[in-house]
Amino acid sequence: MFFLCHAIRTTSGGVVYYLDRFDRTLLKMTMNNPEGLKQNTETATQSSGSRGAPAQDTEVPAEPAEAAAEAEASETAQLQADIAALNDRLLRLAADFDNFRKRTARERAEWHQEGREEVLRELLPVLDHYELGLAAICGTVSDAAWKGFEMIRAQLRGVLERFGVEPIPTVGSRFDPHLHEAVGHEPSSEVPADHVVREVRKGYRVKDRVLRAAQVVVSSGPSVGGGHSDASEA
């Protein structure tokens, strides 16, 4: 290396001489000690490589553990808030659906009841007219015919009873504006005041629901003149 460097620093006229001298010297060294030359060459190559290799970049330190923990905690809190909001929404939807289901079932039952009551209400005048007809022909038909008419009336009443229809009590019971429709008043020594004396038209109900109010005459109490009605005195 000394000869090579010295040859480069020499003027152009002496470059050839020193290069030629360097070649002869290098050849002689190789013949005398080839292993040493090989080791020197490898050492020089490694040194040159280590000097010419670029410096490795310094690693950037990772994010601090505290910042990572805070980020994870914030993300966890956000997820928990989202889950709580979804649960609350689910509960509200479930409650709304349950209310809707109950309301729909109740409305369906009411519609069914109202439709059935409407049909039954239309049958009541038929029964009224049939009973009026029976009263008109009483004693004018044969026993067999009368028995047949009675069976038809019992059949009509049986149909109404199967649907829960029952007559409203009238004569002798206290007047109830929710069950009775007063069409008149008359004195009575037998029936107390504000009680039903006579029934003009039958009334019917289904459990607590009135299909048709009963038309009645209400007692006003004993007559002022003497405690007995005119019919009793006669």
How is the beta sheet containing 214-219 ordered, strand by strand?
A: 180-186, 214-219, 196-201
The average confidence (pLDDT) of the chain is: 77
Looking at residues 188-213, what average pLDDT do you find? Answer: 91
Tell me if 169 sits within 8 A of 195, measured CB to CB: no
Per the structure block, which two tokens stand in for 156? Answer: 């009509």
Q: Is the pLDDT of residue 173 over 50?
A: yes
Structure tokens at 144: 């067999």
Backbone angles phi, psi at 225, to 5 degrees: -75, -25
**Cβ partners under 8 Å of residue 4, min gap 6:** 22
Distance CA 234, CA 231 (A): 5
Percent of the chain whose predicted confidence (pLDDT) is above 90:
39
234 pLDDT band, cuts 50/70/90, is very low
Q: Beta strands of the chain (E only): which ranges?
A: 165-167, 180-186, 196-201, 204-206, 209-212, 214-219
When pLDDT is cut at 50, 70 and 90, the band that residue 223 belongs to is: confident
Confidence band (pLDDT; 50, 70, 90) for 86? very high
Q: For 43-69, write each residue's pLDDT tens digit.
A: 555 555 444 445 455 554 556 788 888
Q: CA distances (Å), 116 to each of 49, 111, 112, 205, 224, in order?
A: 106, 9, 6, 13, 48
pLDDT confidence of residue 18: 44
Q: Tell me what pLDDT residue 12 has.
A: 44
Q: Are 118 and 206 in contact (CB under 8 A)?
A: no
Give the H or E element holding residue 89.
helix 65-137
What letter does residue 33 receive in the DSSP assignment? -
